[in-house]
Structure 1
């Protein structure tokens, strides 16, 4: 028996934790809590690092048992091999399905958070430009063809 089920059990736990962190991150964006956002980013990175280590471990086990090609191991090779196994591997199949479902959920949550963050960044940039007295109308082209704002003498800081 290949000792791969434990890897998928841990992967599932990591994905569940990651999903929870992504929910917390979305709430932290709403509260503009920068300390919490930084803390959550560190926790997410730690989970992703562990997930990468598990993936490497899985690949090494699959290579060791000659299930995938040593030079170019693919997930498809593993899934093909798994589909040919008897019912003793049903628990691994179920874990893989659960992990794939959780991974899809995490990707959706991450994309949602990325859109929220992008919106917040645009809003903050606009507010910063207003404080500096810049306006979308008051922009000129530089020698390289990009635009830069013209500063106004009537900035909020000078008022």
Structure 2
């Protein structure tokens, strides 16, 4: 029997933790809590690093047991092989399915958080430009082709 069940069990645990962190991250964005956002980002990176190591370990096991191609292992090869196995691999099938569902949920949450972050960044940039007395209408091109605002003599900081 191939020892990949513990890898999927740990992957499922990591994905659950990641999902929880993504929920907390969205709340931190809403509260504008930069310390919490930084802390959550570090925790997410740690989980993603562990997930990458588990994936490498899983691929190495599949290569060792000659289930996937050594040079270009693919997920489809593994899924095809798994579909041909008897009921002794049902636990692995179930775990893999649960992991895929959790991964899809994490992707949706991550994309939502990215949109929230993008909106916050745009708002902060606009507020910063207002404080500096810049207007979105008063922009000039730089030598490199990008735009930059022209300073106004009447900034809020001088008022």
| 1:84 matched residue in structure 2 | 84
Determine the structure 1 residue equivalent to 2:37: 37
Q: Secondary structure at the match of 1:134?
A: coil
Determine the structure 1 residue equivalent to 2:137. 137
Q: CA deviation at 1:146?
A: 2.6
Alpha-carbon distance, 1:137 to partner: 1.4
> In 1, Cα distance between the equivalents of 2:59 and 2:15?
19
1:5-53, CA deviations, whole angstroms, 9 ceiling, x for partnerless residues?
Answer: 1100000000000000000000000000000000000000000000000
Count the aligned residue pairs: 159
Segments of structure 1 that go 5 or more residues without pairing to the other structure are: none
Deviation at residue 144 of structure 1 after TM alignment: 3.6
Partner of 2:52: 52
Gaps of 5+ in 2: none
| RMSD over aligned Cα atoms | 0.8
Offset at residue 158 of structure 1 (A): 1.1
What CA deviation, in whole Å up to 9, does each residue of 1:34-78 have, x standing for no partner? 000000000000000000000000001001111111111111111
The TM-score normalised by the length of structure 2 is 0.98
- CA–CA separation in structure 2 for the residues paired with 1:78 and 1:45: 27
Return structure 1 stretches of 4+ with deviation > 6 angstroms.
none
- Which residue of structure 1 aligns with residue 65 of structure 2? 65
